[in-house]
Structure 1
Amino acid sequence: MSTANSELQQRKDAATPRGVGVMCDFYAERALNAELWDVEGRRFIDFAAGIAVTNTGHRHPKIVAAIREQLDRFTHTAYQVVPYRSYVELAEKINARTPGKHAKKTAFFTTGAEAVENAVKIARAATGRPGVIAFTGAFHGRTMMGMALTGKVAPYKLGFGPFPPDVFHAPFPTPLHGVTTADSLKALEHLFKADIDPQRVAAIIFEPVQGEGGFYQAPAEFVRGLRALCDTHGMLLIADEVQTGFARTGKLFAMEHYDVVPDLMTIAKSLAGGVPLSGVTGRAEIMDAAAPGGLGGTYAGNPLAVAAAHAVLDIIDSEALCDRAAVLGERLKTTLKGLRAAVPQIADVRGPGAMIAVEFGKQGAAHEPDAAFTKRVQSRALERGLLLLVCGVHSNVIRFLFPLTIEDHVFDEAIAILEDVLKETASDVK
């Protein structure tokens, strides 16, 4: 077995395609909670959490125990062939805990993109309409429909078209860059006059907090405006909670920050704490629109993943992770805001709960994205053993996705590294 990162890197380059972009040049050997170690024994603090997948940390004992117990029962039957109780019980829990008091139903799948695809299928079946509206900066997956809905070209769409038709985009409100809620809603009205009759639109899909787009949170008045448009024109409102769900924003679901209830919700990532599982939850009558056999998948709702998801919900409750997210997120935001004088490139600090981002602009021109500065911060942090992710249409935003179970002393260590790196990088520019 190879124990050298350099050798594994050479083997990776020879055996796997360049289209699978890989951020790090080292290889994971083991992980625990918010820390991981590579094959050479180096330690890293994980502020990426597998892109918001391990909100409950790496290898949480309750998740490991739940998977082991299920392993002793069965690993796969295909739910559509031989169903199992745990799937039904998890659907009941999700139905009860997602926003809205109406009757709901849930179907499970494997990936976030698969959940989005099925939400669109359900919306089209329920309305008999083809059109779907998404937003600039959105990310909804790498499948053909997912790419069509995604509002960021590089690297997701390059060379892969044509994409499915009847997908349209409107600007997402980003006040920092001069796009207000009024601008976004006005653009939708213009879309209905210039590009598609609203009577042909099945659904509007949006992220309560944009993930890849830069962690911009949808303003409350914008979400209300979307709900009003959907009600007026008979469209469905789909909330994509793939990245925002399961305590990340300080609520179990980000839509709990609003007084609006979506018709459909997509969930994935931290749902099963690192085991592939996703779902679509929605109004019962809408979820029943697809004919038997129209939904599903060979691995959809895999029993090992379902067992892990039951443990995740228990951990979120028993360890008060929604409250923990709010506390940690506030500590991080306070630190970042306090660095503005020393780091003038900080254009904005934002985000609900522990879904925090810092956006960088060029010194003296905060609204002009500075991707180079952002990349230097990320690279320097990695050299110091702190994993950070970059996002945003202009790649000038660092998003923080640490496990919500992170120990205080590890969190403090990471914040100290971050402070040093930001100050050092800023001093290089002066």
Structure 2
Amino acid sequence: MLLTASMLTLAACGNSSANSSKSSTKGKTLQVWTFTTDMKKIINNYYKPMHKNLDYKIKITVVPFENFQTKLDPVLGTKNGPDLIALDASFVKKYVDSGKMADLSQVGIKSASANTTNYVKQVGQDAKGHQVALSWQATPGAYYYRASLAKKYLGVTTPEQMQAKVDTAADFTKTAQEVNQKSNGKIFMTSSISDLFEPMIGARKTPWVVNNKLKIDKSMLDLMDMSKQFVSGKLTQDTTEQSSEYFSGMSSNNIMGYSLPSWGLFYWLQPNAKSSKTGNNTAGDWRVVKGPWSYSWGGTYLGAVKNSPMEHEAAKIAKWVATNPKFQTKWAKDQNDFVSNQTVVKKITPQFTSKFLGGQNQYKQFAESAKDIDGKLLTKYDQTIQKAFVDNALTPYSQGKISKAAALKAFKDTVQNAFPDITVK
């Protein structure tokens, strides 16, 4: 009788626990905050159709990029905050190192991410090595160039020949001068100095802050000199990144190429290849090469908020989006996005050709570029420090408005004011 009673008691406890677990999410709402509408597409078109038995609702709030952190910071970790957040690479480390992100090991992230591109995992790990964020994307950068212009002014007819012309920074500069000379100054190698900045910032050897001290990698000094040479020598059109002039160059015939990440192909280049004003269409005339630098630019990372009401469910979504091969295969084919699962990349790479790139296989190029990217370069200070570098040092120096010494001093002073606790020398 005692044994029977004990078994009944245990069964009752077991049923109670199971019911409690089942009802813990039933009828609740999982809050997702994102700066990109891609998350709506992923949740509504991929996650929900593949998880039809969810007993909770998912509410997705899209906050404009420029307002995202301002709105998120005061409520992160409170009852008014989200359970799942999408974080851009420019500020992901701020949240990864905040102590407010849930350890994704609770949903088996280590084994699930065994085939994830290494640098993507590095970016989402906190100081203790816990995986608190992860991305379904890898975002290797490249140099996209106009095939017809390369043939006319450089005698180049294949991507392999073009790569040889831009294999190092010195080669890139020499080729830019050749383009300028042979076109009588009509063709610019780049639209903006951002076409130098974005790759070189990702190709540094040293992070901006090490042991709480500001570090200026030698490549940043080289970037200043190279940018000044490009501006003064009229090797660049010297537009501002993402300005109307910057985008209009994608449909004109005066820009040889752009340094862009994998997502730049379908978010920026393809939509702007045709001009509504002139009717000119450059689609099919673009090609892509690695260029002088291995770098990453952008990317969206997902993480669950620690102690939020739906923390565990949010962690499961983050894991699924960032590691599920079925989803990533479909996403890659539907969006032409370059994904982070290396097994998926290897499997689908032979299937890719791009009409926009004249039949070139961009996936093959991106797969090679992604191998050399160092995710440990990112710090929580990057967004502020890099803006300070561009505004106070790179731009005014490249335009000849200030000396190099004065530019670096202005940069250091701005960093010191922004981060009094960092040692700046």
Between the two structures, name the one with larger relative contact order (CA 8 Å, sep ≥ 6). Answer: 2
TM-score higher than 0.5 here?
no
Rg larger in structure: 2
Task: Identify the structure with the greater helix proportion.
Answer: 2
TM-score (normalised: structure 1): 0.29
Q: Which has the higher strand share?
A: 1
